[in-house]
Amino acid sequence: MMQKQIESDKAPRAIGPYSQAIQVGPFVFTSGQIPLDPVTNTVEETTIEGQTERVILNLQAVLEAAGMTLESVVKTTCYLQNMSEFTAFNAVYAKFFTGIPPARSCIAAQELPRGVLVEMDAIACEGVGVTLNHGQLD
């Protein structure tokens, strides 16, 4: 199976030897996004709410470059510098992932790149996003 590199100018460029995302078949695997502003390449938000929103907007941009949306996401992995901010993080996350939420792991990380409060990666799948009756597949 072939793999395709996914890149978006609307998300921060990779700052190391990795891709923003890789598509293999119907699946897109994103790299971890931190709350870097894609224009300034700096962290402009200081709160968990602001940083979480920026991270999800960055993920959204990468997914859009692959022809997908946040509704295509089937799994996220979230890294929080401080689990005491879980409730505030969750409130922002819930605004973006509506309908059937993706499966998720949320991990406390002692230190994240550039001292940020949150990092997130996602796995998305083409054709996902349509909700069926009672979650049953026909």
Its pTM stands at: 0.91
For the beta carbon of residue 47, count every other beta carbon within 10 angstroms: 12
pLDDT value for 14: 87
Third-level CATH fold of 3-135: 60s Ribosomal Protein L30; Chain: A; (3.30.1330)
Nearest to 28 by CA among 137, 133, 129: 129
The pairs formed by 12-18 with CB atoms below 8 angstroms and a separation of 24 or more are 12/36, 12/37, 12/38, 12/41, 12/58, 13/38, 13/41, 15/113
Told to judge if 78 belongs to the known catalytic residues of this protein, a careful annotator would answer no
Q: What are the extents of the domains in the chain?
A: 3-135
Q: Of 106, 112, 123, 128, which residue is the catalytic one?
A: 106
Q: pLDDT by residue for the chain (138 residues), tens digit each?
A: 899 999 999 999 988 899 999 999 999 999 999 999 999 999 999 999 999 999 999 999 999 999 999 999 999 999 999 999 999 999 999 999 998 999 999 999 999 999 999 999 999 999 887 544 444 444
List Cα–Cα distances, 73 to 59, 96, 106, in angstroms.
10, 11, 15
94 burial (CB, 10 Å; 0-12 / 13-18 / 19+) is exposed
Would you list the DSSP string of 23-58?
Answer: EETTEEEEPPB-SB-TTT-SB---SHHHHHHHHHHH
Q: In the chain, helix, strand, coil percent, each to 5?
A: 30, 25, 45
pLDDT value for 129: 72
Whole-angstrom distance, CA of residue 62 vs CA of residue 58: 6
